Amino acid sequence: VGITFETRDRDGLARIGRLSTAHGTVTTPTLLPVVNPNLRTIEPAELHRMGFGMVITNAYVIRSKPELALRARQEGVHKLLGFPGPVMTDSGTFQMYVYGDVEVTNREIVEFQRDIGVDVGTILDLFSTPDRTHAQARADVDGTVERAREAVPLAGGMGLSMPVQGSVHPDLREACARAYRDLPAVVHPIGGVVPLMEQQRYAELAEAILAAKRGLRHGRPVHLFGAGHPMMFPLAALLGCDLFDSAGYGKFARDGRLMMSWGTVHLADLEELPCACAACAGTTPAELWAMPAAQREARIARHNLLTAAAELARIREAIRRGRLWELVEERSRAHPSLLSALRAVAGHAEWLERFEPLSRPSALLYTGRETLRRPSVLRARRRLSERLTFPGAKEVALLPARGKPFSSHWGMHWAPARSRGLALACPSIFGPVPLEADEIWPFSQSVELPEDVGEESAPWNHAFASSHDLALVPVPPELAQGGTEGFDAARVRATIEYQFGREAAGPLLAGKMDLVKARNGRIRNVLVDGEHILSIRAEDGLATLRLPGARRLHAVAPPALRVTVTDDAIPFVRDGKSVFARFVQDADPELRPFDECLIVDARDRLLGHGVCLLNREEMLDAERGMCVKVREGVGSA
> Which chain residues interact with a copy of itself by CB under 8 A?
50-51, 203, 262, 265, 269-278, 280-282, 306-307, 309-311, 313-314, 316-317, 320-321, 326, 329-330, 332-337, 339-340, 343, 365-370, 448-452
Rg (C-alpha) for the chain, rounded Å, is 28
CB of 310 to a copy of itself, least distance (A): 4
CA–CA separation, 307 and 291 (whole Å): 21
CA–CA gap between residue 69 and residue 245 (Å, rounded):
23
Q: Name the minimum Å distance from CB 59 to a copy of itself.
A: 31
For residue 206, give Cα distances in angstroms to 96, 213, 339, 355: 24, 10, 11, 17
Q: Of 158 and 203, which CB lies nearer to a copy of itself in the complex structure?
A: 203
State the number of CA atoms in the 13 A half-sphere of 21 facing the CB.
22
Comparing CB distances to a copy of itself, the nearer of 52 and 127 is 52
Annotated active-site residue in 9, 11, 90, 269: 90
Helical ranges in 152-201 per DSSP H: 170-179, 194-198
**Nearest-approach distance from CB 330 to a copy of itself, in angstroms:** 4
- The nearer residue to a copy of itself, 269 or 539, going by C-beta atoms, is 269
What's the rounded Cα separation, in Å, for the pair 268 and 131?
34
Name which of 357 and 608 has its Cβ closer to a copy of itself: 357
CA 201, 202, 206 angle in degrees (round to 5)?
130
Q: Least distance to a copy of itself from the beta carbon of 320, Å? A: 7
Element (H, E) at 545: strand 543-545
CA angle centred on 135, ends 129 and 139, rounded to 5°: 70
Q: How many CB atoms lie within 10 A of CB 290?
A: 10
Least distance CB 248 / a copy of itself (angstroms) = 16
Query: In whole angstroms, how close is the CB of 268 to a copy of itself at the nearest point?
Result: 13
- Residue 580, amino acid: F
**Which parts of 366-486 fold into alpha helices (H)?**
375-387, 406-419, 443-446, 453-467
What b/e sequence results for 184-201 when a residue is b if at least 16 CB atoms lie within 10 Å of its CB, and e otherwise? Answer: ebbbbbbbbbbbbbeebb
Look up 621 and say whether it is catalytic: no
Nearer to a copy of itself, 196 or 570 (CB): 196
**Cβ closest to a copy of itself, residue 260 vs residue 563:** 260
* Catalytic site positions: 90
